[in-house]
Amino acid sequence: MDKVTRFFELKELWKQSSDSDRHVIDQQISELLDNMTKEETEQLTVGVQKDFNNIHWEIKDIKEQLTIRERLEPVLPYLSVSNLAKNYFGKSSSWFYQRLNGNKIRGKVCRFTEEELITLETALKDISNRINTLRLV
């Protein structure tokens, strides 16, 4: 196994470890870094930059989803998310909430696609029109 791959494995272990276990992983990472050649260090630098870019995009996705949730917050209590998800998306309410909350499923952040956002906006406008045209008297 190459040292760059090992570094990222140790990084993941470190993230999943308790505070008390992290010092052992810190030592392993230090030893690994101390024994890297210049070429391996350069490869690690490229790998870390890619990792940073991925994290940056994940954060951006989460922020976008939170913004969508924030915008929907005032009306969510009045909507049947179950009916909304079923009638407009053909999906379950769990599917809808996973995207609304930006949940991670199998290591990937769930989010609405552009097409799904258009569908959601269309659905909300449709519901709004139904309410606006409703006559009780």
Work out the burial of residue 105: count CB atoms within 10 Å of its CB; fewer than 13 is exposed, 13-18 middle, 19 or more buried.
exposed
- Report DSSP letters for 105-132, one per residue: ETTEE----HHHHHHHHHHHHHHHHHHH
Mean pLDDT, the chain, rounded, equals 88
Please give the Cα distance from 55 to 49 (Å, whole number): 10
φ and ψ of 104, to 5 deg: -95, 125
18 dihedral zone (left: phi>0; alpha: psi -120 to 50; beta): beta
The identity of residue 73, as a single letter, is E
- pTM for the model: 0.55
Which pLDDT does position 133 carry in this prediction? 94
φ and ψ of 89, to 5 deg: -115, -15
**62-71 confidence digits (pLDDT tens):** 666 667 888 8
**27-43 confidence digits (pLDDT tens):** 998 998 899 899 988 88
Sorting pLDDT into bands at 50, 70 and 90, what band is 83? very high
Higher local confidence (pLDDT), 62 or 134:
134
Residue 97 CB partners (closer than 8 Å, separation 6+): 81, 103
The answer, yes or no, to whether residue 105 has pLDDT greater than 90, is no
Please give the Cα distance from 70 to 51 (Å, whole number): 28
